[in-house]
């Protein structure tokens, strides 16, 4: 499956959502995850994300591998998002920030 990683936190641009053929994105307050039980590995979402937050599971960078389990866990709790919406209002400010995991709202 594909995995949403740290760069998405506090940005949530949602361009990824529109291209997913199986609607497997799930939405939290300031982050999205991919439901690994639904993702068909089509790759389409990767190029859509302006902050390059999405990776194939095997390609998730060292230091962000914990996002694999986090996507699986939160996908069970969060509801589907099936249409693009406006990003968070200060998304551009947070786009280049690192170490945002502490900002994640569950």
- Which residues sit at the interface with ligand F3S, rule CB under 6 A? 4, 8, 11-16, 32, 48-49, 51, 53-54
User: What would the two tokens of residue 51 be?
Assistant: 């902050």
Half-sphere exposure of 84 (CA within 13 A, CB side): 12
Per-residue binding string, ligand SF4, 61-100, x by CB under 6 A, is ----------------------------------------
Query: Which of 39, 49, 53, 74 touches ligand SF4 by CB under 6 A?
Result: 39
Helix (H) or strand (E) holding 56: strand 54-56
| Residue among 52, 39, 44, 47 at smallest CA distance from 8 | 52
Q: How far is the CB of 42 from ligand F3S (least distance, A)?
A: 15
- C-alpha 22/C-alpha 25 separation (Å) is 9
Q: How far is the CB of 76 from ligand F3S (least distance, A)?
A: 18
Query: Which of 15, 18, 44, 50 touches ligand SF4 by CB under 6 A?
Result: 44
């Amino acid at each position: 499956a594909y995995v949403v990683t740290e760069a998405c936190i506090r940005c949530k641009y949602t361009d990824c959502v529109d291209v997913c053929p199986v609607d497997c994105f799930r939405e939290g307050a300031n982050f999205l995850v991919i439901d690994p039980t639904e993702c068909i590995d089509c790759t389409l979402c990767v190029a859509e994300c302006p902050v390059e937050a999405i990776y194939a599971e095997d390609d998730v960078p060292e230091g962000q591998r914990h996002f694999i389990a986090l996507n699986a866990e939160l996908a069970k709790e969060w509801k589907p998002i099936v249409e693009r919406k406006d990003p968070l209002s200060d998304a551009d400010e947070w786009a280049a920030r690192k170490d945002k995991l502490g900002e994640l709202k569950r």
